A and B are shown apart, each in its own frame.
Chain A
Amino acid sequence: MNENVLLSIENLHVSFYTLRGVVRAVRGLNLQIRTGETVALVGESGCGKSVSAHAVTGLLPVPPAKIEEGKIFFDGQDVLQFNEKQMRGLRGVRVGMIFQEPMTSLNPVFKIGDQIADVFRVHHRIGKQKAFQMAVDLLDKVKIPEPERRAREYPFQLSGGMRQRAMIAMALASPKPGLIIADEPTTALDVTIQAQILHLLKELQKDIGVAVLLITHDMGVVAQVADRATVMYAGRAVEQGTVEEVFSDYRHPYTHGLLHSLPGNPEYRGAKRLIAIPGTVPDLRSLGNECPFANRCSHVKDRCWHEFPEETTLTAEHRFWCWYPTNLKAEDAHER
């Protein structure tokens, strides 16, 4: 399995030191991404998924953020030991990022083509015109119609979907892209545009062979594009496995809750309301060693309040962290 691991996050701990206390945003995350695959990091806002991704590219604001523990290897190199210059060699060259808001993620005062060309030029000694031409080619590759004309336009002249395509092009503006970190890439888009963008990501992946780390709260998106998924809750990974395993053989009550709050849930036949997970996310500043999901969990017992569950490994990929897991096969309950 370690053969072609591109990115490996090992026991990552990230905290934010704020005036109102220490926020332990990520606690002990382990994650591997192999060349060319799509891994989803799923969870609700504030669960630590974006923080983990930013740690990979050294974009965490330090201070207040601090990486307390852990290692991040990219292509076998320890990223956390990189200096600023080496980090820039990683960002934009091997790792591209796409953000949630295509409306605000592109610089409003520069032409699309110039922005992409600039990324090319940072990392390679090429002329302005050559870089611009490469940008146009890239816009063509992400299926923007009339790329020649669009490259000469400003972000406000493009639609949301087109801007997100331009963002993807920018993330790919390198001769050897290895990984794209897509932080909620479709959240701000219409459903039809979402599907197009996801389709494009999939296609590019086949074409160029990049790996994608997809950060999302949307289980539907995970099902569409991911190969493997890690479900995070309040800074901890709670379940991890192939998409198949996570969707049809989930063990963690939180994964169960996420899947059952989807509108496609068969239990909804005749129901008037969506099924929600009761309660709210705990305050990350006050968490001790309990299971963070304890206050919302229907399986909760005394033990959950004192010890964070040990890892249970089911298959090569599938593992979860829960003392009293759901067992679908045994209960023979809800199918999906």
Chain B
Amino acid sequence: MARYILQRLLLLIPTLLGVLTIVFFMTALSPGDPARVMLGERANAQQLEQLREDLGLNKPLGEQYLIYLKRTLRLDFGRSIRTGRSVMEEIREHFPATIELALVSMFLATFFGIVIGVLSAVKQNTWLDYSAMIGALTGVSMPVFWLGLVLIMIFSVGLGWFPTGGRMEVRLFFEPITRFYLLDSLIILIRDGDPAYLKSSLQHIILPAVALGTIPIAIIARTTRSSMLETLRQDYVKTARAAGIHERRVIFRYALKNALLPVVTVIGLQFGLLLAGAILTETIFAWPGIGRWIYSAITARDYPAVQAGVIIVSAFFVGINVVVDILYSVINPKIRLR
């Protein structure tokens, strides 16, 4: 087990190196002169030359690459062209918002997806199964920006249950502790006994989490259903039933654990996609996360910010895959004991 995990972790090194290399050459080879972008149209040749020298852009590509690697490993991504602030600092501000949203979405999607999938499989070819699968198909097909707007129209504008955007009511100002607002407000609740923060942060996260989680719920439900149907036909399920084990236990212990392997893969992939793909949701719900931040960095040709954003998101994606691999071995002893 320990060896397996170590192996996975060692494999991280070449993967991440590949990511870094691709990101570097994509930015280096993309059209447009960073110096010109930074200084604007009216800069003269001397100023441009000076800035290129300062940024190291006049050095040979290979040397630039090595410098880039060295700095990246120190997590030094330079300064943002737009704001002049440290890129790492900006990421530290925005990333927790995205992770928080993605975690809540994935929690919803995993829970409801698996429950719906299992019920559909157990009640195969009943009205419950049909309606769940039609619902899943609808969920997969719904564009997230449209769903987000509809949710806002119904639940924020119409019913007034939830706010239309943001992470926390503006008048509730507080010094972020972890930058995960749910966690922060929970700490405040415990420390000061004030539930207003927790209530507000929960209210703010529900709609974007639902909008973001809809597609993963549908995908997880469909994967769980087909995997469960396959598993329920296996001989060992018959063995468990023949041994007089309660049907509920047969389904949720004996069958589900076997059916979970492909589901874990899908959950991991979806989680990775949520981290990067939350741009639309974040924009609609004015969620100050990394997706929106990268998007505006791209439109402003903020090279250091784009580079850093892509690297961080990719690193998380790769990291999630390692976690999925490790979860495999927890579920399947055959992998663990090889």
Contacts and interface: CB of A to CB of B under 8 A. Distances in A.
A328 interface: no
Interface of B: 234-236, 238-247, 249, 254, 257-258, 331-334, 337
A91 B241 CA distance: 8
A107 B254 contact: yes
Contacts of B334: 108, 154, 156
Interface stretch (A20-28, A97-105, A232-240, A289-297): A97-105
A17 to B, nearest CB: 14
Contacts of A14: none
Nearest to B261: A109
A46 B11 CA distance: 51
Given A88-B245, A105-B239, A108-B333, 10 more contacts: A84-B247, A91-B241, A105-B236, A108-B258, A108-B332, A109-B257, A109-B258, A109-B332, A154-B334, A171-B243
B22 to A, nearest CB: 37
A104 B234 CA distance: 7
A59 B245 CA distance: 12
A122 B239 contact: no
B337 A157 contact: yes
A220 interface: no
B239 A106 contact: yes
Contacts of A106: 236, 239
A118 B258 CA distance: 17
A99 B235 contact: yes
Contacts of A171: 243
Given A99-B235, A104-B235, A106-B236, A59 B242 contact: yes
14 contacts: A57-B242, A88-B246, A90-B244, A104-B236, A107-B236, A108-B236, A108-B258, A109-B257, A109-B331, A119-B243, A119-B245, A156-B334, A171-B243, A173-B243
Nearest to B338: A156
Given A59-B241, A88-B246, A118-B245, A105 B235 contact: yes
B241 A154 contact: no
Interface in A192-250: none
Give the secondary structure class of B's interface: helix
Contact of A107 (B242, B244, B246, B258): B258
A91 B244 contact: yes
A170 interface: yes
Contact of A97 (B234, B242, B337): B242
Interface in A142-172: 154, 156-157, 167, 170-171
A97 B334 CA distance: 26
Contacts of A118: 243, 245
A154 B245 contact: no
Measured as residues with beta carbon below 8 angstroms from the partner, the interface class of chain A is: 20 to 34
Given A107-B254, A154-B334, A156-B334, A122 B245 contact: yes
Contact of B239 (A88, A93, A157, A167): A167
Contact of A91 (B236, B242, B258, B331): B242
A99 B238 contact: yes
Contacts of B244: 88-93, 119, 122-123
Contact of A154 (B240, B243, B331, B333): B333
A106 B236 CA distance: 5
B235 A92 contact: no
Nearest to B255: A107
**6 pairs of A and B residues whose beta carbons are closest in the complex:** A92-B244, A91-B244, A97-B242, A92-B243, A104-B235, A107-B236
Contacts of B236: 104-108
B239 A170 contact: yes
Nearest to A89: B244
Interface in A56-89: 57, 59, 84, 88-89
B238 A59 contact: yes
A97 B235 CA distance: 12
A96 interface: yes
Contacts of B241: 59, 91
Nearest to B244: A92
A336 B31 CA distance: 92
A257 B291 CA distance: 75
Interface in A170-185: 170-171, 173
A109 B237 CA distance: 12
B133 to A, nearest CB: 21
Nearest to A122: B245
B13 to A, nearest CB: 31
Contacts of A97: 239, 242-243
A238 B228 CA distance: 40
B231 to A, nearest CB: 10
A111 to B, nearest CB: 8
Contacts of B242: 57, 59, 91-92, 96-97, 99
A99 B337 contact: no
Given A59-B238, A101-B235, A96 B243 contact: yes
A59 B243 CA distance: 11
A107 B333 CA distance: 11
Contacts of B234: 104
Contacts of A167: 239
A104 B247 CA distance: 19
B162 to A, nearest CB: 41
Contacts of B333: 108-109, 154, 156
Contacts of B247: 84
Contacts of B243: 91-92, 96-97, 118-119, 122, 170-171, 173
Contacts of A105: 235-236, 238-239
Contact of B337 (A59, A91, A101, A154): A154
A173 B245 CA distance: 12
Contacts of B245: 88, 92, 118-119, 122
Nearest to A173: B243
Nearest to B242: A97
Contacts of A99: 235, 238-239, 242
A92 B333 CA distance: 26
